[in-house]
Structure formats: C-alpha cells, structure tokens
Amino acid sequence: MAASEARFIEDIARLLLPWGVPSTAARLYGYLLLSAEPADLDRIARDLEIGKSSASVAARLLEKYMLVRRLGVRGSKRVLYEVSDNYVDMLAEQNRLLQALADVLRAGTRVTRSRATRDRLAEMADFYLVVRQGMDATFDRWRAKKR
C-alpha cells in the first residue's frame, strides 16, 4: 500500500472516530473507499494488517451502518465487501432517529411540571424536526440530480 493511500485511510478513520465508529471499522471504510473492486476478508486483513476476525466484525458493523455492502460469490462461501453507493438510505436512518428523538422530546413536554424544562424540550424537538426536514429536502434534491 502506498504511503498516500495509508494516509487517506488514517484521515478517514480520524474523521469517523468522534462519531463512535471503532478504529478498525473506520480504517476498513477508508480502505474500501480506495478499492477499485470488492475485497474479500483475506485481502482486507492482509492489507490493513489486522486479524481476519477483526476485519469480519468491522465489515459487519459497516454493513449495519449501511456504509458497505456484502456481495456473495456464486458457488462459494467467499464474501466480498464494497462501499455502498446508497448515501440516502444511510442518512435516512439517521433522519428516522431524529424524528423519534423529536417525538420523545415532545412527549417529555407533557410530563414535566417545570415550564423551563417544557420550553427546553420543545425547543430541542423543534430543532431536530427542522434538521430532519432539511435532510428530507436534501434527499429530494439529490434524487432529482441523480435522475
């Protein structure tokens, strides 16, 4: 692996770590971003100098985050991984969480007796709803651009 590729992988990892993405998974994501074709766990483990089981756990986590997708190889148990190109679904899940959080905060306004707490919860709910609506509008613009 070239030094510039290793630097890119580490830069991606540094950006994802504060979001709670474990280091190995963050490095794997950077690696797959640079991969011209899907990679199997053996190659990933070798190139990133990690254990195959660590690569597998990281790949499954990234799959759960919708950042990568798993590809089966016909007639084989071999599995390949590649970066997902479905950016909308990845962020749409976050948007669903923003809606759920806003709903819970709104419910909280009905159970507290404190006006200050009620106002704070209502403001937080409003903020998350505005962010969610902005993301929905962004998704619509992206989909229109891709047509």
Q: How far, in Å, CA of 60 to CA of 76, rounded?
A: 19
Spell out the residues 6+ positions from residue 71 whose beta carbon is closer than 8 angstroms to its own: 38, 79, 80, 81, 82
Q: Which amino acid is at 138?
A: T
Which tens digits make up the pLDDT trace of 41-55?
999 999 999 999 999
pLDDT at 40: 94
Q: 72 falls in which pLDDT band (50, 70, 90)?
A: confident
Structural contact between residues 142 and 92, judged by C-beta atoms closer than 8 angstroms:
no
- pTM summary value: 0.78
The H or E element that residue 83 is part of is strand 79-83
Q: How far, in Å, CA of 62 to CA of 101, rounded?
A: 23
Which tens digits make up the pLDDT trace of 25-37?
999 999 999 999 9
pLDDT at 19: 86
Q: Given a cut of 80, is residue 83 above it in pLDDT?
A: yes
Spell out the residues 6+ positions from residue 93 whose beta carbon is closer than 8 angstroms to its own: 66
Q: What is the CATH number of domain 3-83?
A: 1.10.10.10
Q: Which amino acid is at 72?
A: G
Q: 75 falls in which pLDDT band (50, 70, 90)?
A: confident
**Per-domain residue ranges for the chain?**
3-83, 87-146
DSSP tag of 147: -
Alpha helices, DSSP H, located in the chain: 3-16, 23-34, 41-48, 52-64, 87-111, 115-146
pLDDT at 147: 84
- Provide φ and ψ at 71, rounded to 5°: -120, 130
Q: 57 falls in which pLDDT band (50, 70, 90)?
A: very high
66: left (phi over 0), alpha (psi -120 to 50) or beta: left
Q: 86 falls in which pLDDT band (50, 70, 90)?
A: confident
